[in-house]
Amino acid sequence: MTADDSEVWPNAHVCTTMMSLATRARDADKALATLEWMKRRSADAREVAPTTHTYTTCVQALDGAGRWEEALGMLGEMKRAGTARNAHTYSALVRAGANGGRAGARAVVKLIPEMKRDGVEPDLAIASALISAFGVLGSEDNARAMLRAIESSGRATDSKLYVDYMTAMCRCGNYEEAIETFTRVPRTTFTCTAVMKAYAEAMDWKLAEALFEDMRRDGPAPNDHTYSAMLHAYEKSLQWERAVRLLNQLTSEGKAKEIHHNIVLSVLGKCTQWQRAEVLFRDMRELYNIQPSRVTYSTLISAYGRSGKTDLARKVFEQMLARRIPPDDYTFVGLMLGPASEGNFRECSKIATEMKELYDVEHTVHTYNTLIQAADIAGNYDKAVEVYDELLQRGIEPNNTTRELVVAVSKRGANFYDRQQKTAAVASYAAGLVGVMGMALGRW
């Protein structure tokens, strides 16, 4: 965007509309470039100066690109520019943080006092976003209190609020409350899809399937997210045959998307149906003209890894690189699954080193979990604790899988050293394992 003194400059409204278009296209860089242009030009033309709506739109653009830290940084820019913040600004900020995982959710919860200082009361959109943030943090009491506050305020509610609440309860492991909530809210495509996800997490694919069939017969009409939820329910319960059947139906109806194929690839991998996964991967490209993404390749690599087909996993990895698709942490987890299942910690460690040194992919909680699993299977409990300690030292947030692994390792390790009844030093180490278990429990 350029202009000279002889040209008519667009005003803030026009610029913000351009940013909105960039946001829809998930082009955060273009939105930021527009914001910077507005700030530079505003010294000569005040009508170009960024407004509250401009900054809010930029927050949404950064959120859509997964750049939550930069999104929250917009609040500081608004303060320095003396730009007012409103309810739309805070709902966008909170939503961006909630989408940023535990670190992002913690950051936006701290914005509540700031919001009060700006005289902004939580409206429906802010409450909904905060419920999502509390769900990410596993704080079901706060999520529940927020819902009750909105319901008792007399304000109108919407399906988005209840979808966020049911999702939050699922994240907190309270599937029963998510399901109970569904019984007292309107049936929409979104609420039905949310409760299907709760059924999936509760490992009750039959209830999910019954609701899905009701939707297809009587409405509300399912959408792509509903199909994903149903396939996910099959995946969680390892119902690979039903997943394949549904995918075939969706394909015949022209409704199957890449994500649906990926979920079925995943369940086939979990059930060690690697040959079927191989055929599905080939059909995606040759029959359905779906170009595999990094997710698709990583899912197939995991399918081979879970089936102990390490060489085939590596072959697909090389094909992925040949297509100039960069790997991510899930790709390397897939490569590690085969050796991890055999307790081959050395090979897993080698892959983890390759991940960082050759491909500049940072270690995540998922790669650390796989290393802990490999050490556990090998009976190398001190190495498992060492990996867990490294995870904490690097400031990586453990997840529920980490918790389950560390608690199991601590118990098995303590029992192992107790059975060995070796030296006092070993007994002391066993006690240390129990201490690590307590530390792990205290983090969640």
Q: Is residue 117 part of a domain?
A: yes
Judge contact between 226 and 250, C-beta under 8 A.
no
Would you tell me the crossing angle of helices 224-236 and 189-201 to the nearest 10 degrees?
10
Domain annotation covers residue 6: yes
pLDDT of residue 8: 58
Other C-beta atoms lying within 10 Å of the C-beta of residue 438: 11
242 occurs within a structural domain:
no
When divided into structural domains, the chain yields a total of 1
Q: Check residue 190 and give its pLDDT.
A: 96
Domain at 92, CATH number: 1.25.40.10
Query: What pLDDT, on a 0 to 100 scale, did the predictor assign at position 4?
Result: 47
The answer as to whether 23 is a domain residue is yes
Q: What pLDDT score was predicted for residue 442?
A: 37
Within a domain: residue 234?
Answer: no
Classify 219 in phi/psi space as left (phi over 0), alpha (psi -120 to 50) or beta: left
> Do the beta carbons of residue 167 and residue 136 sit within 8 Å?
no
pLDDT of residue 391: 92
pLDDT, position 414 = 58
* Cα 338 to Cα 23, 128, 274, 342, 348, distances in angstroms: 40, 41, 13, 7, 9
31: in domain: yes
The pLDDT of residue 272? 92
Has residue 190 been placed in a domain? no
User: For residue 62, what pLDDT is reported?
Assistant: 96
Q: Is residue 33 part of a domain?
A: yes
At 309 the pLDDT is 92
Q: What is the pTM of this model?
A: 0.82
The pLDDT averaged over each successive group of 10 residues in the chain (444 residues) is 53 91 92 93 85 96 95 95 95 95 92 92 92 94 94 90 96 94 95 96 96 96 97 97 97 95 95 94 92 94 92 95 95 96 95 95 95 92 88 88 83 58 44 45 36
pLDDT of residue 319: 95
Residue 19 belongs to domain spanning: 1-157
pLDDT of residue 7: 57
